[in-house]
Amino acid sequence: MTALQTTAVALARTYVGIREAHPNSGPEIDKWLAHVRCNPGDSYCAAFVSYVIDSAYGGIVGPPLLFRKSASALRLRDRNPELEVDPVEAKFLLRTGEPLIFIIPHGAGHGHAGFAIGLHERLLTIEANTMDAPSSRAKDRDGQGVYERDDRHFGDVSGFLRIA
């Protein structure tokens, strides 16, 4: 893993356990939303990803950051096409310990994003605005906090991005 990947995963883990004080709002959540110029109450999964990547990069000396932040999970993919990884490569990278950003579409222009940190039978993830236990797709983008999960199906993911 690169220094950025290691730092991003470690930082994302520090937020596991953060819960909403109000729907899609709370001290940390509001900070993530402000980072992508959104208001308390907006969906925050992509804001979490963007905040973690930008914060992790702040402590790394290296080439310019390639990642372009977004408040929208689907726009993360659109804004970062050079970071996209095909599914075959994503499986290999995840099984060998390289974390990626995952994106799951939910129709009507909505989606969900988080960090994929491994792959065994299911994806191992750290994600925000989700639930702790397996939930219906409709609930996956409107949860209550930040959780580390091990129940995502690889086939539900429509795209993966490198953390670079």
What span, in angstroms and rounded, lies between the C-alpha atoms of 45 and 76?
Answer: 11
Question: In the chain, what are the domain boundaries?
Answer: 3-162
Count CA within 13 A, CB hemisphere, residue 53.
26
Average pLDDT over residues 87-104: 96
**pLDDT in the model for residue 134:** 63
Read off the pLDDT of residues 106-145 as tens digits, 9 standing for 90 and up.
777 789 999 999 999 999 999 999 987 665 444 455 678 9
Question: What DSSP string runs through 8-77?
Answer: HHHHHHHTTT-B-SBTTBSHHHHHHHHHTT--TTS--HHHHHHHHHHHHHHT--SSPP-----SSHHHHH
What span, in angstroms and rounded, lies between the C-alpha atoms of 15 and 99?
Answer: 17
**pLDDT in the model for residue 127:** 95
* Sign of the C-alpha dihedral computed for residues 81, 64, 118 and 34 taken in this order: negative
**Distance between the two ends of the chain, CA-based, in angstroms?**
11
CATH 3.90.1720 corresponds to the domain 3-162: yes
* pTM of the shown model: 0.92
Percent of the chain clearing pLDDT 90 (strictly above) = 75
